[in-house]
Amino acid sequence: MNSLRTHPLHLAIIMDGNGRWAALRGQPRSAGHRRGAENVRTIVRAAAELRVGTLTLYAFSADNWQRPSVEVAALMRLFEDYLKKETAECVRQGIRISVIGRRDRLSPALRDVIDAAELDTADGRRLHLRLAVDYSAREAIFRAACRFYKATRVSRESFEELLGEVTHGAAPDLDLLIRTGGEQRLSDFLLWEAAYAELYFTPKMWPDFTAADLAIALAEYRARDRRFGRVPEAVAS
């Protein structure tokens, strides 16, 4: 009922609330980030079980560089550790890993780990896991636009190809965007791809967001009437 599109479902999640989760428990923000990283494992596996085709997680935005350097360094270590620990399991589970966003501001060691994870998991077909790191949708659109004047084919499709190039990976249009933590904004995430995405906001902090919560969000999404600009009668016919 809800979709005119035939591609496997593309789900994105803004994983918000780690710091507040820790603060509510009298713990440092780093504890919340560690707990959030553990929850990524849970939700990735749940998404694969729920037959999500592509899962894009907002791990670190371009604006997050403005956070205290100690917190940024801890987040980068968590990301590197996650890739090192999870790559082999993703290979076993048929999960392909891609990292989107800028890479020039990441450490050489982290870039090497990213390259290895992408290479090792390249044959995964069960789920495409995309991790957005040093990512800004507006910057990506701007960088693609700067290259577009050289394009031999002037079309939306060719622009989308350029957008995929500058972000290190294209994906289908977004179907469902979930944001945890109670905030209700996109925060410069997948602005082009989210043109017709359904939005789902939950007050649950990311460390508390469970596989059952994901199933509930997907069930609500599948019950929505997605018309893509058409009138209901046209969809029904």
Question: Count of CB atoms within 10 A of residue 24's CB?
Answer: 11
The span from the CA of 33 to the CA of 18, in Å, is 5
Kindly list the catalytic residues: 16, 64
Q: Is residue 113 within 8 Å of residue 87, measured between CB atoms? A: no
Q: Is the dihedral of CA 128, 136, 22, 73 positive or negative?
A: positive
Give the largest CA-CA distance in the chain: 57
Q: What's the half-sphere exposure (Cβ side, CA atoms, 13 Å) at 188?
A: 18
- Which H helix or E strand runs over 216? helix 211-223
CB burial of 173-195 (b: ≥16 within 10 Å; e: otherwise) equals: bbbbbbbbbeeeebebbbebbbe
Question: Which residues touch 85 (CB under 8 Å, ≥6 apart)?
Answer: none
Among all chains, which residue has been given the structure tokens 């050489």? 108
CA 69 to chain centre: 23
What are 87's two structure tokens? 């790559």
